[in-house]
Amino acid sequence: MANERSSSSPAGRIRAADMTRFRTTQKVPESARRAGARVGQSRVVPEETPVALTYGGSTHAVMMATPADLEDFAIGFSLTEGVITEPHQIEAIDVLAEEKGIDLQITLKDEVNEALRLRRRHMAGPVGCGLCGIESIEQAVRSTPDVSASPLRLTDGDVVQAVALLDGKQPLHSETRAVHGAAFYVPGSGLIAVREDVGRHNALDKLTGAAARAGFKGVQGAVVVTSRVSVEMVQKTAITGSPVIIAISAPTALAIRTADEAGMTLVALVRGDEFEIFTHAERIERDGSARLSARVPL
């Protein structure tokens, strides 16, 4: 593998080939209407690349993603999809450059790999289009971890600050205006990590992986996203252990019901110092009220 680099990680060995040919953006020509006239100009747009997530030589999923922070993506996807429960259950990650995409070859510890193999065997069968391998509606709407016991509390000011900070930490979005951002916000410490991707789920998976590699626990803060809040975003947030999701856009009805049942606070439509709380508003204290002992120490 030419130009490979290696690094140590809570997830074990990571080896990556030379990824320089996989760019995150491209400058393209365009014709724009300005002041009633057509003018020729150029615009920077984000790239999306097929990224395969492969376990034990078998491809589990292929996602269209921004070709950056791939080690974070491998770890975060493995966590939020329930393949692993801890980063150390990954022995190695090999990032391979293929002709038309990238293959993240993930080596699991023996016992985890066997559990995944048995799960695949159970899922195998004649299925049609839709969620491949899912045999029932109950499986499609998977259970969401309960985060109601979390002592974390935020204030109105925390919500406003979290979104304001994220706005200034998205270089790819500033350049293209076409990608999603996800961040972990810890009261008193600000943003612990930020990740971007063309896909909102991918951005959250990358964030989860980055936080896990840094030893950060989701229970310590809130997930902040620039996208709408779908049920998957709530489920992935709950898997991180975070009891709060804050979004710039609106939630779906199923996302609201799922967050409510999981004991999660869902804040959305944050615009300046205005926002809407859809579930468990007791976790967001009014500015000026006493902070509870709920600050989870880093």
- Residues with catalytic function: 129
- Distance, CA of 279 to chain centre: 21
Strand blocks (E) in 20-176: 25-34, 37-46, 49-55, 58-65, 90-97, 102-108, 154-155
CA distance 38 to 29: 13
In angstroms, the CA 129 to CA 192 distance is: 39
How far is it, in rounded angstroms, from Cα 121 to Cα 125? 9
* Whether 20 contacts 152, CB under 8 Å: no
Q: Distance between terminal CA atoms of the chain?
A: 39
